[in-house]
Structure 1
Amino acid sequence: MTSRTHGPAVPRPTWVAPNGKPPLSARMMRATWRRLPAKLHEVGWEPGLVVPAADGSPLITDHYFPRADGDRAQGDFPTLLVRSPYGRGLPWSPMYGLLFAEQGFHVVVQSCRGTGGSGGTFDYWRNEVADGQAAVSWLREQPWFNGTLGTVGPSYLGYVQWALAADPPPELKAMVVQLGLHDPYALFHADGVLRLETALAVGVGMTYQHQGMGPFLKATLRLQRRLREVTTAKPLRGASASAFGGEVPWLDEVMAHPDAKDAYWNGASLAQSAERLSVPTALITGWHDALADQTFEQYDRLRQAGCETSLLVGPWTHTSALQQGWPEVFAETLAWLRAHLGADPSDLRPTRVRVHVGGENAWRDLDDWPTATAASPWFPTAEGHLTQQAPTDSAPLTSFRYDPEDPTPSLGGPLLSRTAGSRDNSNLEAREDVLVFTGPPLTEPVDILGPVSARLSISTDTGHTDVFTRLCDVDPQGRSFNICDGVGRLRTEGEEPSQFTVPMSSTAHRFGVGHRIRWQISGGAHPRYARNPGNGESQLDATTFTPVHITLHTDSALMLATHTAVRAAEAEDTV
């Protein structure tokens, strides 16, 4: 970490607040929100300020501030830095600029280079460290900046926070990373499997959202109309151009590098920022957030570093957390910032972790995450049961055929789109290319708190396949709702079984009385993940596809972090 000071102790010039009001669109959106705290200040607005980046490129910036009686409010207020590649208008203007200025913060909303009118060329990760430091250098020269700085924001707005935290300036006293990114590779790929639908959604957001809501919505609808055409193209490489109205070179590049060890990804991950951070950092995510696993990793690294941190996990997707979940997210964020920037800890919750427990539909406060409970194995049987009785051998159990020309469809789960979340999987599970193993009806509740994984023993006839695995809750009416899932890639030679583990994210879920635990296994989930061609060709360049016979062996197991001693009564004849 380099050493910096705030600057010489010289008298600050008097700052005269401009007369600008926040944009009408921001004020109108603000009026639609409910369950938010009453405003403490009227808000002023300085739009279009030019902040020099590290290389001199102009970064266009808006400044929101508390005011009273037509002038600036009296007193020193801390500053929040919000850097975004999605523009400075809706929804960022009301959600961050307006709401937090109302509560007594200066808020600086800045467009990342190459977006929202800022100069230079946007690059997904290579400029954020230097540009964040340049923004802080500019803040030091402002007469209203009192030397106390916080950062806040979701998604890529979280990535720029980790970029600043790579070498945190002394003024940085608090961070709130909401549904935030720190590893671009993991956003686009999972064990070498392309997260196709997410990649396309990110491409639309990065390309169009900073141009305004009109162009962004138009591009989103165009992608939805052409999604099947794009995701089933042979080859897949370059097919997205028709949906984007032209080529997006950076998107083509990230899709074309599925190996995390490829030199292309050098410097992309900011995981090390959390490993040595001492700035108090609050983390927020949702169980169906596409970046939830990255949030759990951030929390683990911060805890190991001894950094003061908190974790809130709600029943949200990436988008619903900032919509239906916004009152809870805003309250959590405001409490953390007031405690660490304004020395008012009165609204902080008493425990480090708060999670929403699905099934129970209740919030639970915890001392840490995950809870200190060992995972228990649940084993599949040839009859389609799920049992805690261990098998006596590793013989073949059952097989299915995966055809990439007719790929197993995806349904719900952690996505960036409106199709994310928990869905009834009953029709999906009726397909012949989906294996289902179901436990007996529970006579007492079973709580799962922590990571879920699949320990798989798989053989194939081609040596090339992906395996998608999912935990579901089957209610007394027979509806099967997805809880969490994951995907892994099998790379073998010959038909001997391979043993590997597929992480399936984490959950806090109660399986109620009369419900059943279900394990679902298939050869993919398209278009959420790109199709595996089945023959060793790359997902982007394959023009021929080979059906794969996939065999599951008896020593496979679903690993569940059961929180209580409650277990299902074993039923010999119940599926």
Structure 2
Amino acid sequence: MLGELALTWTGRLSAPVLEKLLDLPEPQFTQIQTRRDIPVRMPDGVKLATDHFRPPGQDPLPAVIFRTPYDKQGIISQLWATLLARQGFQVIVQDTRGQFASEGKFDAFRQERADGLATAAWVREQPWCDGTLATAGPSYLGHTQWAVAPYIEPPLAAMCPAITTSNFTELFYPGGSFNLHNLLTWSAAVGSPEIPQAVRLLRANAHGKRVRRAMDHLPLADADNVAIGKPEPFWRTVTDHNDDDYWDEINHTAQLATLGTPVSMVTGWWDLLLVGQLRDYEELQKADCPRRITIGSWDHAKSIKTAIADSFSWLAAHLHGDASSTHRAPVRVYLQKAGQWLDFDHWPPKSSTPTPLYLQADHGLDWQAPQGDSAVDTFTYDPKNPTPVVGGPLLDARVSGQRDNASIESRSDVLVFTTSPLTKDLDLVGPVSASVYATTDSGQGDLFVRLCDVDRKGVSRNVTDGIVKLDGAAQSPVQVTMHPTGYRFARGHRLRVQVSGGAFPNHARNTGSGEPLATASRIVPIHFEIRHDEKHPSAVTLPVLHAS
């Protein structure tokens, strides 16, 4: 999709063709008015570069605000704004502080509430704005929306936060671990904004290899130098503040309880922010806030096409009064491997039942709890040779998604538990979790649990996973939050659960030393015990969907 969008700006595709590609209504206008690089002054005097798109005329109109750290002149921002303007919307696109044409210093995530509120106030003061505001955009642009929506008065008329979350801290440190692959990939990208986009594309392969090599580096605080040849401020901050209150101010989840702004969300089962976005949806659901969500089979990048199209109908309903395209179920999800879209009124679906699948003494999996005592497995996690992982919810689409797990499951530091072949299709839609009796000799360590689909040929492909940093408790089972899923295990396939002490490089290795994340370099092997008997019923809990 990104390649298709790029063609637009080289003149090889026209706006009408893109409108058909996105299945948009016929445009109301074929010509639009554009003002570029308007200097919008913040309260501290810093000026943020802002572009203004609108249909022809001078009448005051509602305005849709996009705030981006990725260059307002980029393909996605320009495309989205232009197509919205052709549909009769007025659009503001702004470079965030310290990025591209805007002044100031970029302090990732922490600056967006103040700057977003100041920008909204400026827009409302303009003679071409009627005072009605909405927001849209994916990923970090979604964060800029959540940083404003709960606090702005009068409230926003609508918002369209896609592949995002109201609390990015959960992405940084899932289960108390460190999201190495995604965070270093992002830091390396935002750390060199001066490199033109065309040059980035030409150097993408070499850049990706450098970033991957940097993931092997210890101490982690210096991995940015290996990746891009210089310190990157966000990377230094995110590695240094993993266990304090530094990031509390970017967590806006608690404010969702009082939000009344209509919200439309788009995400994918393989998006790295899925856990947080679905938690946001549940908070809005509790508050009875007008809302909807669409979950496809996509990863982060592949969700953008649907996010663009979705925003048009939501904004038309709440800014133009045209609700013709909004008559659908609040929750629409794609059931992977079944080729079906399913509609629900609630998340999680009320027709899904959380059902434990137990680890057995013979390394099987069964819906019945284990019998007998002393079923225990041991393995050693060696940070010098950290347990690897393939696929998963990654920012880098070249390595994300489902992959063959054969090389992982053959290792001595990975426990594998497998069901018998299914006698009928098994559909899962909803949250997934694990409860595992795991201890280590030192109290240090991470616990990684992955659910896989083993086909009739024996190929094992990952479906969902999760990780948690151990707290040293020996008596209670370790609770692991895994990514939600919508997935069909076909008749004749088997379910498989992996249990290990890490998932490198998706998550940073646990060095076993107890040293601070940023500076840890001493390596200490970690010896694990995993119990799964009658007194220690370790299990994964699956959202089994029952036919209506």
Assess same fold via TM > 0.5. Answer: yes
* Compared CA separation, residues 468 and 268, structure 1 to 2 (3 A): same
| Counterpart mapping for 1:399-418 below 5 A | 399-418=378-397
Any unmatched runs of 5+ in structure 1? 1-22, 67-71, 567-575
CA separation of 1:220 and 1:541: change in aligned 2, threshold 3 A: farther
Helix, strand or coil at the partner of 2:72: coil
Distance 1:190 1:171 in 2: 31
Shift of 1:30: 5.5
> Contact 1:473 / 1:517 at 8 angstroms: preserved in 2?
yes
Match of 2:417 in 1: 437
Please name the residue that 1:375 is paired with.
354
Q: What residue in structure 1 maps to residue 48 of structure 2? A: 59
153-162 vs 96-105, greater mean Cα deviation:
96-105
Letter in 1 for 2:49: I
Return the letter of the residue paired with 1:207: G
Does the 8 Å CA contact 2:451/2:465 hold for their aligned counterparts?
A: yes
Instruction: Return the offset for 1:279.
Output: 0.6
1:96 aligned to 73, 80, 90, which one?
Answer: 80
Taking the aligned partners of 1:202 and 1:29, their CA distance within structure 2 comes to: 29
Q: What are the residue-to-residue correspondences of 1:530-549 with 2, within 5 Å?
A: 530-549=508-527
Match of 1:483 among 463, 466, 489: 463
- Rounded Cα–Cα distance in structure 2 between residues aligned with 1:299 and 1:206: 28
Indicate whether 1:450 and 2:437 are aligned: no
SS of structure 2 residue aligned to 1:263: coil
Deviation, structure 1 residue 405 = 0.9
1:451-530 mapped onto 2 (5 Å cutoff): 451-492=431-472, 496=474, 498-530=476-508
1:36 corresponds to: 23
Distance apart, 1:50 and its partner CA? 1.1
The separation in 1 between residues aligned to 2:525 and 2:428, in whole angstroms, is 36
* Distance (Å, rounded) in 2 between the aligned partners of 1:538 and 1:220: 32
| In structure 2, C-alpha distance between the alignment counterparts of 1:290 and 1:498, rounded to whole Å | 29
Instruction: Quote the Cα distance in structure 1 between the aligned partners of 2:379 and 2:298.
Output: 33
Task: Give the structure 2 partner of residue 287 of structure 1.
Answer: 269
Q: Are the equivalent residues in 2 in contact too, given 1:492–1:498 (CA < 8 A)?
A: no
How does 1:224-235 map onto structure 2 within 5 Å?
A: 224-235=208-219
Q: CA separation in 2, counterparts of 1:273 and 1:83?
A: 21
CA distance in 1, matches of 2:146, 2:10: 27
User: CA offsets per residue over residues 203-257 of structure 1, 9 Å max, x none?
Assistant: 1232235754145446754542223432222322212213223111232111122
Structure 2 stretches lacking a partner, 5+ long: 1-6
CA distance in 2 between counterparts of 1:171 and 1:381 reads 53
2:312 and 2:75 map into 1 onto residues whose CA distance is 18
Distance 2:214 2:314 in 1: 43
- For residue 75 of structure 1, report the CA deviation from its aligned partner: 6.4
- Aligned equivalents of 2:434 and 2:401: distance in 1? 20
8 Å contact 1:26–1:91 — kept in the other structure?
no
Q: Which residue of 2 aligns with 1:242?
A: 226
Report the AA paired with residue 44 of structure 1.
Q
Residue 267 of structure 1 aligns to a residue whose secondary structure is helix
SS class of match (1:229)? helix
- 1:431 Cα deviation from its structure 2 partner: 1.9
- Contact kept, 8 Å, 1:166 with 1:272, in 2: the verdict is no
The 1:127/1:394 distance shift into structure 2, 3 A limit, reads farther
Instruction: Report the Cα offset of residue 558 of structure 1.
Output: 0.9
Per-residue deviation, 1:318: 0.8
Residue 144 of structure 1: aligned partner: 128
- Name the SS for the 1:520 alignment partner: strand
Counterpart amino acid of 1:177?
A: P
Task: Please say if residues 458 and 497 of structure 1, whose CA atoms lie closer than 8 Å, have aligned partners that are also in contact.
Answer: no
The Cα shift of 1:76 comes to 5.8
Aligned residue type for 2:428: I
Which residues in structure 2 correspond to 1:165-314 (within 5 Å)? 165-170=149-154, 172-209=156-193, 212-214=196-198, 216-217=200-201, 221-259=205-243, 262-314=244-296
Contact in 2 for aligned 1:80/1:105 (Cα 8 Å):
yes
Matched residues in 1 for 2:86 and 2:184: separation? 36
- Alignment partner, residue 3 of structure 2: none
Any conservation in 1 of the 2:404–2:459 contact (CA below 8 Å)? yes
**CA-CA distance at 1:126 after TM superposition:** 2.8
Contact map agreement 1:87 1:212 (CA 8 A) in 2: no
Correspondence for 1:572: none
Write the deviation string for residues 492-523 of structure 1: whole angstroms up to 9, x where unpaired: 27xx5552110002111111211111111111
**1:47 and 2:36 correspond:** yes
TM-score (norm 1): 0.87
- Please say if residues 85 and 210 of structure 1, whose CA atoms lie closer than 8 Å, have aligned partners that are also in contact: no
Deviations 1:525-569 (A, max 9, x none): 111111011232334322221222222111211111111289xxx
What's the counterpart of residue 125 of structure 1? 109
CA distance in 2, matches of 1:369, 1:408: 34
Distance (whole Å) between structure 2 residues aligned to residue 212 and residue 166 of structure 1: 35
Preserved CA contact (<8 Å) 1:115 1:210: no
* TM-score normalised by structure 2 residue count: 0.91
Contact 1:458 1:553 in 2 (8 A): yes
Distance of aligned partners of 1:265 and 1:244 in 2 relative to their CA distance in 1, 3 Å threshold = same
CA contact (8 A) 2:165 2:280 kept: no
Counterpart CA distance in 1 for 2:70 and 2:443 is 42
> Which residue does the alignment assign to 2:4?
none
Residue 5 of structure 1 is matched in structure 2 by none
Aligned counterparts of 1:189 and 1:218: Cα–Cα separation in 2: 32
**In the alignment, structure 1 residue 560 sits paired with structure 2 residue 530:** no
> Matched residues in 1 for 2:406 and 2:14: separation?
40
Task: Give the conservation status (yes or no) of the 8 Å contact 1:26–1:98.
Answer: no
- The letter of the residue matching 1:143 is P
One-letter amino acid of the structure 2 residue matched with residue 57 of structure 1: V
C-alpha contact 1:204 1:219 (8 A) present in aligned 2 = no
Q: Alignment partner of 2:447: what SS?
A: strand
2:388 alignment partner, SS class = coil
Mapped to 2, the partners of 1:30 and 1:384 lie a distance apart of 57
Over residues 37-89 of structure 1, what are the superposed CA-to-partner deviations in whole Å (9 max), with x where a residue is unaligned? 243322332111111113221110111122xxxxx158664321001111112
Return the alpha-carbon distance in structure 2 between the equivalents of residues 210 and 477 of structure 1: 49
1:380-419 per-position Cα deviation (integer Å, ceiling 9, x unaligned): 1232211112123563432222211111112111111121
Question: How far off its partner does 1:446 sit?
Answer: 1.3
Letter in 2 for 1:191: G
Tell me how far 1:184 sits from its aligned partner. 2.8
* Counterparts of 1:24 and 1:295, CA distance in 2: 30
In the other structure, the counterpart of 1:351 is 329
CA distance in 1, matches of 2:22, 2:143: 28
Letter in 2 for 1:36: D
Q: In the alignment, which residue of structure 2 is the partner of 1:571?
A: none
Between the two proteins, the alignment pairs up a number of residues equal to: 531
Deviation at 1:97, TM superposition (A): 1.3
SS at 1:389's partner residue? coil
SS class of match (2:349): coil
- Say if 1:49 and 1:60, in contact at 8 Å, map to a contact too: yes
1:476–1:95: structure 2 CA closer, same or farther, 3 Å change rule?
farther
Deviates most, 223-232 or 311-320: 223-232
Residue number among 358, 364, 370 corresponding to 1:391 in the alignment: 370
Choose 214-223 or 441-450, whichever is displaced more: 214-223
Equivalent residue letter for 1:368: H
CA contact (8 A) 1:462 1:535 kept: no
The whole-number CA distance in structure 2 between the counterparts of 1:394 and 1:455 is 18
CA contact (8 A) 2:175 2:480 kept: no
